[in-house]
Structures are given as C-alpha cells and as structure tokens.
Amino acid sequence: MEFETKHFFNNTEVDIDKVVDYIMQHPQDTTLVLAYVIEKVQHFKEFEDKKEFEKMMYEHKIQELYAEYMKE
C-alpha cells in the first residue's frame, strides 16, 4: 500500500491514534509505517526551518530598504 500524509497526520501533526490503528490492523507493516512517519516529520521540520529562514531574510531585506530609502 502506498501511504499518504492523510493516513497518519492531521495537517503536519502526527495523529498517534491513526498510526496505532493502522499498526494494529497491519502489524507486518510496522517498520514501513514508522519509517514513513519519521520521514514525513523530518520533511515538515525541514519545511518549517526553511520557512523561518526565509521570513528572517525577508525582514532583513525590509530593514535594508528602510535604511536605504528612509534616511534623511
């Protein structure tokens, strides 16, 4: 079975109940499920880190613009 985010997550948060239910119904897939969930958690964390970096860079650029254009 091909896993999808909606099977184990609510948005970007792991839904432990969904993970446990799936593992209880398909114990042979435990390793695959856990590997998938871990990979997705890392993916979402990387996204959040990059998003925060971009926000920081945006704020820095705005400050540079103010310094350049708003000086007396």
Give 21's contacts (C-beta < 8 A, 6+ positions apart). Answer: none
Residue 37 lies in domain: 5-69
Q: What pLDDT is stored for residue 1 in this prediction?
A: 73
Counted domains in the chain: 1
Q: What pLDDT is stored for residue 19 in this prediction?
A: 98
Q: What pLDDT is stored for residue 35 in this prediction?
A: 97
Question: Per-residue DSSP letters for the chain?
Answer: ----HHHHEETTEE-HHHHHHHHHH-GGGHHHHHHHHHHHHHHHHHHHHHHHHHHHHHHHHHHHHHHHHS--
pTM of model > 0.75: yes
Q: What pLDDT is stored for residue 62 in this prediction?
A: 94
Per-10-residue mean pLDDT of the chain, 72 residues long, equals 93 96 97 97 97 96 92 74
